[in-house]
Structure 1
Amino acid sequence: MRIPSMPSATALAAALLLSLGTATPVATLAKAPNAGTATTAPAAASLQDLVAKVDIPYEKFVLENGLTTLIHTDRKSPIVGVTLYYKVGSKNEPRGRTGFAHLYEHLFFGGSANVPNFDIPLEAAGSTSTNGSTWYDRTNYIETVPTGALDLALFMESDRMGHLLPAVTQDKLDKQRGVVQNEKRQGDNQPYGLFDYVQSEGLLPLGHPYRHSTIGSMADLDAATLTDVRQWFTDHYGSNNVVLVLSGDIDAATARPKVEKWFGDIPRGPDIHPVAADPVTLAAPVSRDIHDQVPVLRLTRNWTAPGLNDADTPALKIGMHILGGLASSRLDNALVRGKELAVSVSAYDQVFQQLGFLSMSMDVKPGVDRAEAAKAFDTVLADYLRQGPTEDEVRRAVTSMLSGEIGGLERVGGFSGKGATLAEGEVYSDDPAHYKKDLAAMAALTPAKVKAALNKWLSRPVYALNVVPGERTESGDGMGGWGDEAERPAPQADPHAEAAPLPPAPKREAPPVQPVKAMQFPQIERTTLSNGIPVVLARRTAVPKLVMTIDFDAGYAADALDTPGTQGLMLSMLDEGTTTLNATQIAEAQERLGARIGTDGSLDTSTVTLSALSDNLAPSLALTADLILHPAFAESDFVRVKAQTEAALAQALSTPRSLAARTLEAQVYGAHPYAQPLDGLGNAESLAALTPADMRAAHDKWLRPDLARISVVGDVTMDKLKPLLEQAFGGWKAPDTPAPVKPIDAATTPAAGNRIVLIDRPNSPQSVVMAGRVLPITGKTPGKEPLILANNVLGGDFLSRLNLDIREEKGWSYGVRTSVDQPVGPRMLEVSAPVQADRTGDTIKAIMDDMAAFPASQPVSDEELQRVTDGAIRGMPNQFETNASVLSGIRKNDQLGRPEDYYAQLASIYRAVDAKTIGAAATEYLQPTGLTFVVVGDRKIVEPQLKDLGIPVEVRAAPASADEGSEQE
């Protein structure tokens, strides 16, 4: 992928309840907080009835050159999702050319014959999610544009489909090769980062199309030539190998002439030959340990499985979800909440077109004997295969999967929206509506069918792959390729061999962007509950679902008045038991309702979030209220959750970026309450000191109605919502004690000069460089929109100066970013740059030089001004496509005291900002003075590079991350 995000292997997001009008299966819940009797849900509809109402209407046409086009009309917003799936992925790569499909995806953004840069025109036109990704079965490209920019998007996509090669140069190849290799290093550098390589190597034989990784091997990437690039394009990127989906504010009558105009003259290419890629059964069980710099021992069990069109796949997906995907899964109940041998577990079926990977994992609780853990782990599976799932488990798994995916229907484009769903159905199954068959098969599942599929595939010889804490003994550089390079090295071509000249491409003119409709922020209604809790609602009816947050004026900054880690641990305890329900019952109740209740925190707020189907709102609210008002904080639950939190802290300390961020926050904010780690995990000493009594005290101190506000977005009216909220929360009274006040107005001490904290993490192929300082403004300081635009010029988006310099021009990083956060209190400038280890010092110098040049020697250009102002204005309709994004905007306005119509005003605010004003903001806030740099990397490689920077360096050892007890046999 070009930028860090994880597309799903299949876009099941489409298979969702578009017009749900009846209740999902529910169970009798615990006593509601203000009711005298139990709350029982309405009669449940059958799963088959629910699935029958799922529909993504589409029209299809095929051009003479073979380009298949699908059109889905959704008029809720003036935007169109443009989705292209090329029927080629890493499974099509020959020996010696691993990683090539993905490398080519990067090159596809480098411009074509008539488009010098693919991103600049689209971002200036208001496109969002301009991205691409590569996986085993396909390469896809996405952008969501204002309706007025659709012709521009189609022109650009057609120009690179039909006229790319004249613009692909040796220089571009070399630079993108460096970017991709740094993407590989970034993934390899994570804890457990080598697992995927070793998993596929153990499950599949040499030459199997799914064996080598999509990112490929360093050697193969080094050997790629310009001639190779051209041949890959010619062999795979013909119009007949592409599915184009236009979804949103468009119809087939309007779309067809546009598609014919822009794509009709592109010639067909060779048809892509299918590959043989069947599941593989091992001859005998295999066990392998790999050592890595990880916090806890991870045990896994792995098998291959059939592809997405196989009749067993729906049963395997649901069966694995029951085993380790549900919050009330078999593994959770037995190993996390039961015997407390694990701090986390999982199980899933990772499904591709022709193959799947079945995997179950167990992160062993520190101090637990390995042999005991492994025996219990295998016993859960054996018992499950013998017993099979219950009817209730199957129903809960299907209901929760449907509800969890329903959000995908809110997006017309992107990696998992309706466009991707239709495209994947066409590409993988020759049926854009394949999702309907998938859902119908899941709804029809019985325990017997699930049991039969699980026994058929999980009773075969297992590959037990375990990641053991210790020093990493293997390198990702040599992984990801064909696998026999040591015995049969592939012939290495000269990556700079001269390629034959190409004839020029025909001249084509880009169409202008048509007028873009102004953003319409949803109408907002407000009320107040009888106990004083303010409520805000934005009604949206695109999907039969809503999202609600209850924000408390607490957050991780509240730990400054308590003990670090208190707020986060207390929040994580809320769904672990109430006075009437235990953790398993809470999880099961959510699954039956199709609801999801989560807790989270920020510096300023502690939040409980409910995602619910509209028809199940009453019982979902009752359950949410029970968690907030009646948590048990039982000793046994507390001990278990604290152990999980300590494991999460160990994971954060062993993850380079997390370690860098925690260190930077503490160094920059000093004694201020915002010095608390943003992950809410506190530190080892503070966690060890916490008790259940501390949880109760923090709950009573901070989770109170006079510190609460409720925000709701979705398919509900205020007439229905307010009585239900009154029933759930109206009887909740504030205590007599005054509400606590966090000292976020405390002064911060600016750094006297630049400095570097180097954290030694041996065997790191990449360094994480972060830098920051506190700015002399708060989130409530008005009139700072020019700073937002200045940050976008410097490092806030893909086309920013830092990213174009360090990633695109120099090829040292997979991505460089800057941000200026917006809490209630003092704001912080943050720079983040994961870079190859041998360029750490050069990167710090480049960051400082680029910041100093803005605007002194490099003022804002006309192109930058248009991109960050017009592009932001035109992109606003995209910004609030989902309920969750609208909810976030409403909450931010309320938190910072901004007017309700702030986002409607924002377009005129941006239009009034000129280049000089942006430059002035950069001069005041974005200069490289008083910066604290934190570098997490290999000291022996990095420290010599820092000597010539003229910046004081403090060296620290990385925290210990392994518990030796986890390695006992």
Structure 2
Amino acid sequence: MRRSLFRPIAALLLATSLTAPAPMAFLGAAEPASVAALVKAVDIPYDSFTLDNGLRVIVHSDRKAPVVAVSVWYHIGSKDEPAGKTGFAHLFEHLMFNGSENANEDFFKPLESVGATDLNGTTWFDRTNYFETVPTGALDMALFLESDRMGHLLGAIDKAKLDNQRGVVQNEKRQGDNEPYGLVEYAQLKALFPEGHPYRHSTIGSMQDLDNASLDDVKNWFRAHYGPNNAVLVLAGDLDLATAKAKVQKWFGDIPRGPETARREVSVPSLKAPVDQVMKDRVAQTRIYRNWVVPGLNDPDLIPLDLGMDVLGGLASSRLDNALVRKAKTAVSVTAGVQQFEKISMVEVTADVKPGVDAKLVAKQLDDLIAEFVKKGPTADEVKRAATKQVAGEIAGLETVGGFSGKAVTLAEGAVYSNDPEKYKKDLAAAAAATPQSIRAALQKWLNRPAYRLVVEPGERTDTDMAAAGGSAREGMSPAWYRNPKYAENGKFVAPAEAGAAMALAMVSGQEPLVAPASAGATSRPLAKVDRSSPPKVEDIKDLTFPAVERATLSNGMQVVFARRTTVPTVRVSVAFDAGNAADPKAKLGTQGLMLSLLDEGAGKLDSIGIAEAQERLGAQISSSATMDRTSVSMFALKANLAPSLDLLADIIQRPTFAPAEIERLRAQILASISAENAQPRGIARRTLPILLYGKMHPYGVPLSGSGTEEGVKAVTRADLLAFHASWIRPDNAKIFVTGDTTLDELKPLLEARFGRWAAPAAPKGEKLFAMDRMARPARIVLIDRPQSPQSYIMAGQLLPVKGLDDPMSLVVANEVLGGSFLSRLNMDLRETKGWAYGAFTQAPMLRETMPLYLVAPVQTDKTGPSIAAAIADMKAFLTTKGIDDEERERTINNQIRSLPGSFETSNDLLGALLQIDSLRRPDDYYEKLPARYRALTAKELDAAARAVIRPDDFIWVVVGDAAKVEPQLKEIGLPVERMSIGQ
């Protein structure tokens, strides 16, 4: 999990105190704004105070939306765990979601009811944090819950909860270990850190330690480390200092201090000599790793190192990308970055070897490039591009007050790790001052030391590697069933998109002190007690006010759809085409994916490297993507650089070169990504199930990744790419969607100049034929053997007799109760009651035509058959004897209504809504009218919507797992079981 030191830059922009640099002309006519100019005005205004019990509180006012981010950071993580107690910090992250003395159920219940968004909790080496963004009227509820688990937790923890969460953690571990390269972290930590080093064990820790922990052990760990004096509370959003002081004092003021957590001295270890290791794993490509331990995030060398790693392998135009991927073509992907922690950090460089190329050759090329870069350092232009790219990326990601990377996080991290909420200002000043010389000096100081050199090759895992994984595991995030895979279908990094954290409310009596009366640091005076006999009243929560949707038409007939959002000086553009994965030619499946990947690999007068460098100089990000129904080329731009960024976007869309050499390079990368999908349990299931449901000839009968098939990608010619572009990527098949800090009057001339004269080609426009064949697709279990899997990946589906164009709102809401939320019937049964899964859910994707219903449940191997049987039983009960009850209906409806303002907090959220409105032919006021429609729904109507279309006995089940262990269980279910090979 890489920490970017440029994260706070966006926070300034969110505070509306940024003076935008003057606009620049395109590509060299004028210099882009300097990093120093961008960061000079950065400021997140805040106030702070400390309660008598030591709780530090930081308050930032942001009135852009009626929401408040609540973020509680405990300065305790896995590095603080003593021998024999590993995994306690992560275990407590789970336990603290399972209820407290005055709210003794899953905490998700009250927060879901009030419409919380961006809610979760995470544990890492240095901290444990909990966060949620709630409507302003629900702030008291959030503070009540956070304070209750801080000061009133232990009376609610019993052995049943402890045992349950141990099981959840074990399934979390299995889920991570089951991924390709899933055992690498264990090997890295063991090799890089000596025995006894705080960072040597991974955050989940030893399963043996957790299994051996008594209830008293666990409670004593909490008493020692989770007091208010070891925590920071950040409130960011729609409130002022006076309100914050009164509410925080009320809810947290009577919690006694806890003991002071001892802070160990932590050294930065160095290997005495290079360490070489080879691992086998069920992976598609050989991956080469190079790792070094470097100083923690308060060391002045960290910012130069971070910039240096971006130049080496983080930028699209990085040294490694240009040398190994574009020119030598010996690797299909490369990375370089710094994982930054409080006391140490870790540099990691990787290269995925192109199939058929000698890994030893690539390893030598990689080492030579690293050595040359360390010796000579970056150029001034590289430094500026790296800094500008990171600044722009942070602006894109930090338009929120909370969540994983909002302003609350920026302030909290500075306070916890550096005792300075404004640490980001020092980091940004250092980044602006970085030079090729300072970066080279940091690289030479730390990367001239011996490296840990790991190679992971395709093959069966060894007993030694699997045994090493048995004792510890990876970082925990609760819950991870929303987690995106580390790599998306096209092999590109995807930031985590977790949502949810178990929270609920029920009243119980009794209270156990946080610390014993004689504990060091306990307050000596009596404290007034707040009444916790009932939850606080939720104040009025206003319905969503959706921004005005404005429209215009260019001279060639292209429609423009615009909504203004002035929170930050940025603009987002999406040029959307009525194509999508459904338009991919069946004869050569993967044509669209290859075409899209080539758009920014040469266009107009720029080649691949030129386009990458242009985006970095402008701070723009241009990407292409496809859903099942839509194909989009999207852009994020700084407002100051909007015009030249649009120049680049227009070239990429209208004038791609499809250079033969680039076609072959990207073809190899997509073939490698398909192989990677076929090595990943999730990827295998997502490639298999849609074809089983729809058939190969239906537009939706394609792999969900959109990457196509190996045969199809190999067969695509340049003429095919040109023909697809002419049929689908054309002005009479496109609309332009824009959100951000501009006006339609400003925007239309810019778009007219770049798109208004774009003429449709002579070729006919593409068409999609939606016609179901009559082939029978009976319910069955399709088993795909993946030996050595510690977990089975279950994905099931059926086709529904509804279309997205029908607006099946009642069905979508009913599915929230069945499997769409953390508190759903399916997840609570398989995860919380039975402990067989880390998460289980159902989803009804809103496709324009025939919609599917998917069920996903990664489960422990020995419970594969029982999990399918339990899921079927849960669905049948839901559809017959145990329909939606009044509590479920009220909670779900309240969540749907109250979460809307937080759901459209950012320009990107708003852009997605505009695209959805258009694709599904909704009216512009669709979202504003939703609350009234939700309120009118009854439990009976929701039951009827689900019962009319869901057929539990008709699911097709895909199971990816160890067939020798799983198949006997499957035969007991009563459905036909058939074997299928990976990629079949």
TM-score, normalised via structure 1 length: 0.93
CA distance in 1, matches of 2:384, 2:22: 10
Provide the C-alpha distance between the structure 1 equivalents of 2:621 and 2:358, rounded to a whole number of angstroms.
34
Contact between 2:587 and 2:712, CA under 8 Å: does it hold in 1?
no
Worse overlay, 85-94 or 45-54: 45-54
Question: Are 2:719 and 1:729 aligned?
Answer: no
Change (3 A) 1:923 1:280: same
Contact kept, 8 Å, 1:795 with 1:817, in 2: the verdict is yes
Cα distance in 1 for partners of 2:418, 2:779 equals 57
Structure 1: unaligned runs, 5 residues or longer: 1-5, 30-39, 484-500, 961-969
Whether contact under 8 Å (1:48, 1:444) holds in the other structure is yes
How far off is 1:730 after superposition?
Answer: 1.1
Residue 930 (structure 1) shift: 1.3
Query: What whole-Å deviation, never above 9, does each CA across 1:428-457 have from its counterpart, x for those lacking one?
Result: 000001011111100000100001001111
1:792 and 2:816 equivalent? yes
| Distance in 1, Cα, partners of 2:224 & 2:774 | 60
Residue in structure 2 matching 1:938, options 930, 944, 962? 962
Residue 443 of structure 1 aligns to a residue whose secondary structure is helix
Cα-to-partner distance string for 1:668-720 (whole Å, 9 max, x where unaligned): 11131101112111111111111222111111111100000110110111111
Alignment partners' CA distance in 1, 2:949 and 2:22:
52
Which residue in the other structure is 1:12 paired with?
7
- Structure 1 residues 798 and 10, CA, compared in 2 at 3 Å: closer, same or farther? farther
Written as runs of structure 1 = structure 2, the 5 A alignment for 1:696-845 is 696-744=722-770, 746-747=771-772, 749=774, 753-782=778-807, 784-845=808-869
Correspondence for 1:346:
335
Structure 1 residues 435-489: Cα deviation after superposition (integer angstroms, max 9, x where no partner): 1111110000010000100111110011101111111114556437589xxxxxx
User: For residue 89 of structure 2, what is the aligned residue in structure 1?
Assistant: 101
Q: Bigger shift: 505-514 or 318-327?
A: 505-514
Tell me the alpha carbon deviations over residues 808-838 of structure 1, each in whole angstroms, 9 at most, x when there is no partner: 1111111111100111111000000000111
Q: Residues 27, 285 of structure 1: CA spacing in aligned structure 2 closer, same or farther, 3 A cutoff?
A: farther
Same amino acid, percent of matched pairs: 53
1:571 alignment partner, one of 589, 596, 600: 596
1:519-549 deviation line (CA, Å, top 9, x unaligned): 1111111001111111011111101111110
**1:673 and 2:699 equivalent?**
yes
In 2, the alpha carbon distance for the partners of 1:395 and 1:336 equals 23
Using the TM superposition, name which of 867-876 and 560-569 deviates more. Answer: 560-569
Cα distance in 2 for partners of 1:562, 1:27 equals 44
Separation in 1, partners of 2:585, 2:60: 52
In 1, the alpha carbon distance for the partners of 2:285 and 2:912 equals 35
Aligned to 2:258, what secondary structure does the other structure show? coil
Report the equivalent of 1:67: 55
Corresponding position of 1:37: none
Is 2:10 the partner of 1:21? Answer: no
| Mapping 1:80-91, distance limit 5 Å | 80-91=68-79
Alignment partner of 1:880 is 2:904: yes
Paired with 1:900 and 1:920, the residues of 2 have a C-alpha distance of 28
Per-residue CA deviation, residues 631-687 of structure 1 (Å, 9 max, x unaligned), is 111111111110000000000010101111111111011131101112111111111
The CA deviation at 1:561 is 5.5
CA distance in 2: counterparts of 1:614 and 1:20, whole angstroms: 12
Q: 1:7 to 1:791 in 2, by over 3 A?
A: farther
**By how many angstroms is 1:21 displaced?**
3.4
Residue in 1 aligned with 2:241? 252
Distance 1:26 1:187 in 2: 46
Alpha-carbon offset, residue 127 of structure 1: 0.9
**1:185 touches 1:476 (CA, 8 Å); kept in 2?**
no
Q: Quote how far apart the aligned CAs of 1:11 are.
A: 8.5
Which amino acid counterpart does residue 158 of structure 1 have in structure 2? S
Cα offset for 1:130? 2.2
Once residues 686 and 92 of structure 2 are traced to their aligned partners in structure 1, the CA distance between those partners, rounded to angstroms, is 33
Alignment of 1:852-867 (within 5 A): 852-867=876-891
What is the match of residue 612 of structure 2?
A: 587
Q: 2:569 aligns with which of 527, 531, 544?
A: 544
Assess, with a 3 A threshold, how the Cα gap between structure 1 residues 415 and 395 changes in structure 2: closer, same or farther.
same
CA distance in 2, matches of 1:8, 1:121: 32
- Residues 407, 480 of structure 1: alpha-carbon distance in 2 compared, 3 angstrom cutoff: farther
Q: 1:854 to 1:13 in 2, by over 3 A?
A: farther
Residues 472, 959 of structure 1: alpha-carbon distance in 2 compared, 3 angstrom cutoff: farther
Contact 1:558 1:673 in 2 (8 A): yes
1:114 aligns with 2:110: no
Does residue 924 of structure 1 match 2:948? yes
Residue in structure 1 matched with residue 492 of structure 2 by the alignment: none
Relative distance call for 1:697 and 1:214 in structure 2 (3 A) is: same
**Pair 1:528 & 2:526 matched:** no
Which residue in 1 is equivalent to 2:499?
none
Moved more, 201-210 or 920-929: 920-929
CA contact (8 A) 1:284 1:461 kept: yes
Residues 8/813 of structure 1: CA separation in 2 closer, same or farther (3 Å cut): farther
Superposition deviation, residue 736 in structure 1: 3.2
Number of residues of Structure 1 aligned to a counterpart in Structure 2: 926
Aligned partners of 2:11 and 2:399 also within 8 Å = no
Structure 1 residue 504: Cα displacement: 5.8
User: Given that residues 9 and 39 in structure 2 are in contact (C-alpha distance below 8 angstroms), is that contact kept between their aligned partners in structure 1?
Assistant: no
With normalisation by structure 2, the TM-score equals 0.92
The residue number in structure 2 matching 1:187 is 176
- 2:535 match: 510
SS in structure 1 opposite 2:133? strand
Q: Which amino acid aligns with 2:913?
A: G
The structure-2 alpha-carbon separation of the partners of 1:503 and 1:797, relative to structure 1 and needing over 3 Å to count, comes to closer
Match of 2:791, as an amino acid? Q
Provide, for residues 314-371 of structure 1, a one-character-per-residue CA deviation record: whole Å limited to 9, x for no partner: 0000000100000000000100001111000000011001110001110010111122
Amino acid aligned to 1:703: I
- Listed one character per residue, the Cα deviations across residues 785-813 of structure 1 (whole Å, up to 9, x for unaligned) are 11011100000011111001100111111
* Conserved 8 A contact 2:20-2:569: no
> Per the alignment, do residues 468 and 841 of structure 1 end up closer, same or farther by CA in structure 2, a change over 3 Å counting?
same
> What is the CA-CA distance between 1:754 and the residue it aligns to?
2.1
Q: Are 1:315 and 2:304 counterparts?
A: yes
SS of structure 2 residue aligned to 1:771: strand
Deviates more, 1:429-438 or 1:727-736: 727-736
Q: Which moved more, 1:644-653 or 1:858-867?
A: 858-867
Q: Distance in 2 between matches of 1:42 and 1:517?
A: 46
2:685 matched to 1:651? no
The RMSD of aligned alpha carbons is: 1.8
SS in 2 for 1:659: helix
Q: Is the 8 A contact 1:17 1:402 kept in 2?
A: no
- In 1, distance between residues paired with 2:470 and 2:71? 28
The SS at the match of 1:410 is: coil
- Shift in alpha-carbon separation, 1:932–1:830, aligned structure 2, 3 A: same
CA–CA separation in structure 2 for the residues paired with 1:846 and 1:97: 35
Deviation per residue, 1:536-595 (Å, 9 max, x gap): 111111011111101111111111455200101100000111241111110000000000
The correspondence for 2:420, drawn from 418, 426, 431, is 431
User: In structure 1, how many angstroms separate the alpha carbons of the residues matched to 2:862 and 2:3?
Assistant: 33
Q: Which residue of 1 aligns with 2:500?
A: none
Q: Report the Cα distance in structure 2 between the residues aligned to 1:735 and 1:338, rounded to whole angstroms.
A: 33
The amino acid that maps onto 2:957 is: F
Matches within 5 A, 1:307-456: 307-456=296-445
Give runs of aligned pairs for residues 38-187 of structure 1, distance below 5 A.
42-117=30-105, 118-187=107-176
1:10 Cα deviation from its structure 2 partner: 7.1
Cα displacement (A) at 1:44: 3.5
Equivalent residue, structure 2, for 1:664:
689
The change in CA–CA distance for 1:750 and 1:90 in structure 2 (over 3 A counts) is farther
**Closer, same or farther: CA 227–927 of 1 in aligned 2, 3 Å:** farther
Question: Could you say which residue in structure 1 is the equivalent of 2:661?
Answer: 636
> Residue 624 of structure 1: SS of its match in structure 2?
helix
Is the contact made by 1:218 and 1:478 (CA closer than 8 Å) also made in structure 2?
A: no
Supply the AA of the counterpart residue of 1:606: T
